């Protein structure tokens, strides 16, 4: 059912009928079928194109986010119980206060380059610096990360 003409530089062929259509077109004007990743650049309708990002960051930074969130939750519980953590506790607080935002920063780069989600990395890092809030934010981040990276 193709018109037989060649496509122009700003066109792609419809995945259904083969008609030349504009790259930006979401629906083919000839057959009405939605073209999956129209635009020729692999860009989905969500606006984030992971192929625009490259990273050499490991996919295991999420472990730092998980451990940091767990440690902050434990520190919250211990402080509520009135536990005296001493110098070792102070070192743990400092390590987690630095480690959790760093883990989110590097993991965010991995997620941005490997999924359709484009996390606002600066916002996530800032939220991880706020005590008590970072426990909830860490859990939300990990849930969202799992959601976008486990999609087929």
- DSSP helix, strand, coil percent of the chain (3-state; round to 5): 50, 5, 45
User: Is 19 within 8 Å of 3 (Cβ atoms)?
Assistant: yes
For residue 2, pLDDT over 60 is answered with no
Q: What is the pLDDT of residues 25-64, one digit of tens each?
A: 777 888 777 766 444 334 344 566 666 666 777 889 999 9
Q: Which of 63, 77, 68 has the alpha carbon at shortest distance from 96?
A: 68
User: In the chain, what are the domain boundaries?
Assistant: 9-47, 57-149
Count of other CB atoms within 10 angstroms of residue 150: 8
Mean pLDDT of all residues belonging to the chain: 82
Q: What is the pLDDT of residues 103-135, one digit of tens each?
A: 999 999 899 888 888 899 999 999 999 988 999
CA angle 93, 108, 63 (to 5 degrees): 50
Per DSSP, 120 falls in state -
Residue 38: CA count within 13 A, CB half-sphere: 20
| Helices of type H across 115-132 | 121-128
H helix or E strand, kind and range, residue 75:
helix 62-80
Q: In the prediction, which pLDDT does 36 show?
A: 60
CA distance 13 to 127: 44
Q: What is the pLDDT of residues 140-151, one digit of tens each?
A: 999 999 998 887
H helix or E strand, kind and range, residue 70:
helix 62-80
Per DSSP, 13 falls in state E
């Amino acid at each position: 059912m193709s018109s037989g003409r060649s496509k122009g530089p700003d066109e792609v062929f419809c995945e259904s009928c083969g008609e030349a259509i504009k790259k930006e077109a979401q629906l083919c004007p000839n057959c009405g079928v939605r073209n999956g990743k129209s635009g020729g650049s692999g860009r989905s309708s969500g606006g984030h194109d992971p192929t625009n990002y490259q990273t050499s960051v490991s996919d295991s930074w999420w472990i730092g986010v998980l451990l940091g969130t767990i440690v902050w939750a434990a520190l919250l519980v211990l402080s509520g119980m009135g536990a005296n953590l001493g110098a070792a506790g102070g070192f743990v607080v400092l390590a987690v206060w630095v480690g959790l935002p760093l883990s989110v920063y590097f993991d965010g780069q991995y997620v941005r380059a490997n999924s359709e989600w484009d996390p606002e990395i600066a916002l996530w890092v800032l939220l991880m610096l706020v005590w008590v809030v970072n426990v909830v934010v860490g859990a939300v981040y990990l849930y969202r990360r799992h959601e976008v990276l486990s999609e087929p």
